[in-house]
Every structure is written in structure tokens, then in C-alpha cells.
Amino acid sequence: MKNRFDAVIVGAGSAGASAAIWLATAGWSVALIEKQVFPRRKVCGECVAASNFPLLEALGIGPEFLAQAGPELSQTAVMRGARSVVADLPSAPEAQHPWGRALAREVLDTLLLERARAVGVTVLQPWAVQKINGLAGSHQCTVRDTVSEKLIVLHAQMVILAHGSWEPLPADRAVQRLARSGSDLLAFKANFRGASLRAGLLPVLMFPGGYGGMVLGDHGLFTVACCIRADRLEALRRAAPGKPAGEVVQDMLVRECKGVCDALQEAVREGAWMASGPIAPGVRLRSDEVVFRIGNAAGEVHPIIGEGISMALQSAWLLCSRLAQARPSNPVPDAAAWQSEARSSYAAEWRRQFLPRMRLAATFAHLAMRPGTSAALLALLERWPSLLTRGATWAGKVNYATEIETTLWRKSYDNHRPYPCHAGEGFQTGPQPAHPGRPA
């Protein structure tokens, strides 16, 4: 088995698989490590904003996504108790497909992984990373086959972390387990058939101690997802001893939110409730690291605004657009200096793009979880529903400028595409032979 690569990417979700595709189509040799077997369900709201459609095209899965995704999401609602406010979602300007759509993660992630294989990415699945050693330009990644328990060491110039926040690397697990509190947010998700929700409506749910959402996705599959504080969940479970946590959450949502009650009146749940967490919104980029981070490994947003998949795809793009356009001034550049500069540039742009929507999501989430503030917020929205439309715009649903950038990306690797040398020798540039995975 080949064990030397230009880049090793840890995690084959939306961020990791996207980065693997973009780097491979730019001529890099890439290994993609994923410990789960696909297709796999995941706790996720499953909404993909229209701002990502140019990226899906650049990834080579645009037509497949559009063929399988649910109806266009042209309106949103905020639901609290028996009250609700409905408003239009903003449409992407001059776009063929102006509104977002929902697609199950088991479908989306599988599409991306298959595309990664098609463009030459080496996929190790199900394999798990045991440790990462070395410095920029010379990393050693010890990985384990989760079936045979075989260990191998991969050598790479660059390591990109794209694992989920709920699946930390072994070195981070002890730290993650240290602090637990009643304010922790636990995530739940279930799918239903036969639910009653108007196509194109994307509701946000507010209830004491949590928030959630509902969406009609692909093949008529209806998704309910929410986050709930650990102390609120514990109180609900004490009141229903012996009942599974997911069913306790469902009963609470039906009881406390008329919109959920109406939607699920004739519905049949498909499979069990899924749970994960606690979620940990915040920035995880670190200046003292020699690896790169994308997706939730770089930073996690409160899912109340449905931007998780957007941040996964867009952060992968922000990084790869910089890496693929590298222009070393010397024949053999200093790997540590070059990667440090790339990390700094990427981190600055990441914060510029994502910190505003993370702050907006955190504010919205904390207002939604408290009875007093959520009531005041709903009253405000009832008076000015257009604030919902503006909020969706501020959250990045339509304004991410990818079309110009993807055009520059294609021109870049058409003319001066970086191509990999042997590990430790850096990257050279210049006219390249045709690559079988390159988009037309």
C-alpha cells in the first residue's frame, strides 16, 4: 500500500471529502482517513444553503445533488408554543437555483466520497487515526484498520483535520471528557414519513432549554432535529422513567410546540432517534499547531441557523484555494515557513467569513432557549417579520462569493497548477499535463 502523500486528511465528511477532491484535482496526492462505514446517518439538520451550489458544481456533484435533494426552501418560520411567524427566505441573486435544499447526510457524504475516489484520492475506510507526529513538511500519521487492527504509518507533507467535534482524535479525548455541566447542549435527530409540513418551509423551534428545526428533505423524508440542555433533558427523563431519551424529546416537542404536533400528527418515525454531543460551539483554530483545520475541527456554529454544512464546504474551499495557488519563490521552499504563512492567511479569512455568523447564531440560540427572551423575540418578529429575512442574509445563506472564486480556481490550475514532488521537496509550479479528475 502506498504510504507517502502530499496531504493526509482526517475525516471524510463534507469538509474532508471536499478538500480531498479539490486538492486531488489540483494534482496533489491525497489520503483520506475515515473510521465510519458509509453510508451512515448523522445528527445534522441536513440543509444546504444556496450559497454552496457553485461549490457543489466545482466539486463535480452539482447535478446529482439537485436530482436527489428535497424541495427548494423559500420560506422560514419561528415557532414557539402555539405561535409562529413566517417570512420569506432571501434568494441568491442571479442564481439558477436561488434557494437552499435539504439532502440526507448519508446521501451527500457518500456522493462526495465517491467523487473523491473518482479523482484519485486514496481512501482508507474504516481506518482510525491513532497519533500524528512530526513537523510541517514531514508528518507521520499512525492509522489503524478498525476491522483487522492492522497499523500503518502514513508520511505526508501536510495534515488537514476535518473530523467532527464529537469524534476527537485520541490525544483530545481526555480533555473533552473533563468538563460536563447542566448547560451542555445535547443534539437529537429523527426522520419521519408522512409528516405534514408545507413544502419549502424551514421552521426554527424555540422551547425552554433548547432549540430545533424541521425540514422536508429528499424522497419525502422529514427531519426533526434539536439541541437541548443536559439539565432540561434530565428533568424530562426523571418525569418519564425508563423511556428512551429520544422519545422523551419527541414527546416534549409535540407537547410544547404546536407546529411539531401538527407536523407529526399522521407521521411514522423511520428508525430510532439519534443523539450526540455535547456540542461545543466556538473557534478551534490554533496558532501553535502545525496542522490545518476545516469544518467542525476548525470551528463549530450553533446549529440554530443551519450553517454547519455551509461552513464545512466553505472552509474546505477557503483552505484549498490558498494551497492550490501557492507560488514558492525558491525551487525548494521552507515547508515550515510556507505552511505557517498559508495557515495564517487561511485563519484570517476564516475568521472574516465565519465569525459574524457564529456570533449571530450564538445570540439567536441563547435568546431562543430562555422563556423570557424567546417570548420577547417572537413578539418582535411578529411585528417585523422581515427581520427573519434579513437574519438569514446575515447568516450567509446567499452571499458567499464562490462563483468568481471557482472560476479563478479553474483558471489557476489550468495554467499553473501545483504538482506534488517527493515528500520533503516542496511544491513546484508550471504547466501540467491533463489530470483525469479536472473539471472541464
Beta bridge partners of 190: 224
Higher pLDDT, 339 or 373: 373
- pLDDT tens column, 312-367: 999 999 999 888 766 433 334 578 888 888 899 999 999 999 999 999 999 999 99
C-alpha–C-alpha distance, residues 319 and 358, integer Å: 19
Is the pLDDT confidence value at 285 over 90?
Answer: yes
Query: What per-residue confidence (pLDDT) applies to 365?
Result: 96
419 pLDDT band (50/70/90 cuts)? Answer: very low
Query: What per-residue confidence (pLDDT) applies to 171?
Result: 56
Write down the mean pLDDT value for the chain. 86
232 pLDDT band (50/70/90 cuts)? Answer: very high
**C-alpha grid cell, residue 154:** 502514513
Cα–Cα distances in Å, from 362 out to 26, 206, 281, 303, 367?
Answer: 36, 14, 8, 9, 9
Query: What per-residue confidence (pLDDT) applies to 427?
Result: 35
- pLDDT tens column, 164-185: 765 656 555 444 555 678 899 9
- Residue type, position 90, single letter: P
In the chain, the number of structural domains is 1
- pLDDT tens column, 124-136: 999 999 999 999 8
Query: What per-residue confidence (pLDDT) applies to 154?
Result: 96
In a domain? residue 248? no
C-alpha–C-alpha distance, residues 27 and 119, integer Å: 10
In a domain? residue 134? yes
* Boundaries of domain holding 110: 4-174+281-428
Query: What per-residue confidence (pLDDT) applies to 320?
Result: 93
Query: What per-residue confidence (pLDDT) applies to 322?
Result: 86
Buried b or exposed e, range 247-281, using 16+ CB within 10 angstroms: ebbbebbbebbebbeebbeebebeeebbbbbbbbb
In a domain? residue 124? yes
Cα–Cα distances in Å, from 61 out to 24, 145, 146, 288, 315?
Answer: 15, 29, 29, 35, 18
Is the pLDDT confidence value at 418 over 70?
Answer: no
When mean pLDDT is compared across 101-115, 170-184, 210-224, 373-387, the lowest value belongs to: 170-184
When mean pLDDT is compared across 106-110, 300-304, 378-382, 425-429, the lowest value belongs to: 425-429
Please give the average per-residue pLDDT across 63-89, as a whole number: 96
In a domain? residue 238? no
C-alpha–C-alpha distance, residues 125 and 339, integer Å: 27
H-assigned helices in 91-201: 105-118, 170-178
Is the pLDDT confidence value at 437 over 90?
Answer: no
In a domain? residue 374? yes
Query: What per-residue confidence (pLDDT) applies to 409?
Result: 45
**C-alpha grid cell, residue 99:** 434557494
Share of the chain above pLDDT 90, in %: 70
**Cβ neighbours of residue 192 closer than 8 Å, sequence gap 6 or more:** 221, 222, 223, 224, 264, 267, 268, 269, 270
Query: What per-residue confidence (pLDDT) applies to 288?
Result: 87
Verdict on whether the full-model pTM lies above 0.85 = yes
The CATH number of whichever domain residue 68 belongs to comes to 3.50.50.60
Query: What per-residue confidence (pLDDT) applies to 180?
Result: 75
Pairing verdict, β 210-216 and 292-293: unpaired
- E runs forming strands in 200-267: 201-207, 210-216, 222-229
Q: What are phi and psi of 25, to 5 degrees?
A: -70, -15
- E runs forming strands in 44-174: 47-48, 75-80, 83-88, 101-102, 122-124, 127-135, 138-145, 151-161
Query: What per-residue confidence (pLDDT) applies to 324?
Result: 78
Query: What per-residue confidence (pLDDT) applies to 287?
Result: 84
From the list 27, 38, 55, the residue with the least C-alpha distance to 294 is: 55
Query: What per-residue confidence (pLDDT) applies to 423?
Result: 33
Please give the average per-residue pLDDT across 76-88, as a whole number: 96
97 pLDDT band (50/70/90 cuts)? Answer: confident
CA distance from start to end of the chain: 31
Query: What per-residue confidence (pLDDT) applies to 161?
Result: 96
In a domain? residue 264? no
In a domain? residue 231? no
In a domain? residue 200? no
- pLDDT tens column, 394-411: 888 876 544 435 444 444
